[in-house]
Amino acid sequence: MHHTGNVEIGTAVGLENLKLELRRGLLTLAVLSRLQTEHYGYTLRKALAAGGLAIEEGTLYPLLRRLEGQGLLVSEWRDEERRPKRFYRLSPAGYTALARLREEWAALTAAMDRTLNADGPAARPALDK
C-alpha cells in the first residue's frame, strides 16, 4: 500500500476539513429548501441549526448573496419588530433548481447507500511494516 504522506488527513483538523467539504454542497440544498418559506438570516440560521445543520455565521450571508446573484433567491428589506431586516425566499428559478437538486440528492443518497453498504463498514487496514 502506498501512503501519500498527507499527515493532515489523520488529524482532527484534517477530518474537520473533510467534513466541511462534504457539507459544503449540502448546505446550498438545505438553504434552498428552507427558503420555500420566507426567512431573514438570523431565523434561517436558527431553523437550519434546529434541523441539525448548523452553519457558520460567516458562511450563511455570503452564500445567500451568491444564491441571490444566481437568481435563485429574491430578497427585500422590511421592518419587523421595529428593526429593518432582509427577508429571503425562493425565486421561480430557485423552485426549479430545488426540484432538480432534490432529484439529484435522492439519486446520490441511493447510490451512496449502495456503495457504502457494498463496501461494508470502515475497518482499519493493517499498517505497512
Partner 1 sequence: MDLIDRYLHAVRSYLPRSMQDDVVGELAEDLRAQAAERGEALGRPLTDSELAAIVRPYGHPMLLAARYRPKQYLIGPTVYPFYIRILKLVLVAVVLVHAALAVAFAVMGEPLSRSLGALGNTPFAAVVAVGWLTAIFALADVFVPRLPFVESWDPLSLPAPAPGPVVSRVNTALELLATSAFLAWWLALPRAEWLAFGPADRFLTLGPAMDTAYLPVLVILLLSLLRLAAVLVRPYQTTFWRAARIALSAAGIVLIVSLLDAGGFVALQEGADSPQVAAIVPLLNRGMTIGLAIAAAMNAWEIVRDVARLATGRQQARVQV
Closest separation in Å from C-beta 4 to partner 1: 16
Report long-range pairs for 37-46 (Cβ below 8 Å, ≥24 apart): 37/89, 38/87, 38/88, 38/89, 39/87, 39/88, 39/89, 40/80, 40/85, 40/86, 40/87, 40/88, 41/85, 41/86, 41/88, 42/85, 44/88
Closest separation in Å from C-beta 88 to partner 1: 10
Query: Do the beta carbons of residue 31 and residue 63 sit within 8 Å?
Result: yes
Closest separation in Å from C-beta 64 to partner 1: 8
* Nearer of residues 30 and 44 to partner 1, judged by Cβ: 44
* Nearer of residues 34 and 45 to partner 1, judged by Cβ: 45
Closest separation in Å from C-beta 76 to partner 1: 12
Q: Which residues bind partner 1 (CB under 8 A)?
A: 40-42, 45, 56-59, 61-62, 65, 77, 83-86
* Nearer of residues 16 and 56 to partner 1, judged by Cβ: 56
